[in-house]
Amino acid sequence: GKGRSFVPVYFVYDAPFTQKEDGSLDLTRMLSAMSLSDPAPIFWSPLSLCVNDKGELNPRSLVHGVGHMLGLPDLQDPKSPNGLSSPLGDTDPMGSGFGDHNPWSKFLLGWIRPRIITGNATLSLRPFADSGDAVLLGRNWNGSLYDEYLLLVYGTPGGLSYVDANVDGGALNGY
């Protein structure tokens, strides 16, 4: 109701989580463990997705689940052979990577406010990991997060993205 607040809850349960006979993840079983309810999101993850083969904590699944609790979509390709390939090149926790959320996700969450460019411009971008600096190119952009535009950042292998960075220097990244 109005004036009430709710706290999201994340459950980690210890139950078997298996792969299919061909070695791919049983995504149907995994997705059935997720419940985004109204008014408070509740998320369930098996412990087996939160530890590596040595039994050590692997926070990738937890970060991914929290992303869902915040309202972010999966960025994995469910049609890939192992269900884990990502159009972002495995550099985002909502795909199959780790580290920091990508600029598009941060834009959806209202965590960054890119400079909006609708005409000709000369731009200078600081490293996104340090500054959150981004530009949105959209000649006919209607102001919707889901309209057509190009979100550009200067990506560097620093900050939380260092773990999965596969560039030595920096690169212009588009979303």
Residues 79-106: b if buried by 16+ CB within 10 A, e if exposed = eeeebbbbebebbbbbbbbbbbbbbbbb
Q: pLDDT class for 135, splitting at 50, 70, 90?
A: very high
* Cβ burial, residue 149 (10 Å; 0-12/13-18/19+): buried
The tokens describing 115, both together, are 């400079």
What is the Cα–Cα distance from 35 to 75, expressed in whole angstroms?
Answer: 18
Q: What are the tens digits of pLDDT across the range 43-66?
A: 777 777 777 778 788 777 778 878
- In this predicted model, what pLDDT tens digit does every residue of 20-35 receive, in sequence order? 677 666 655 554 444 4
Q: Is 155 exposed, middle or buried (CB count within 10 Å of its CB: 0-12, 13-18, 19+)?
A: buried
Q: CA triplet 168, 170, 175: central angle to 5 degrees?
A: 125
Residue 66 structure tokens: 């929290």
Per cent of the chain over pLDDT 70 is 67
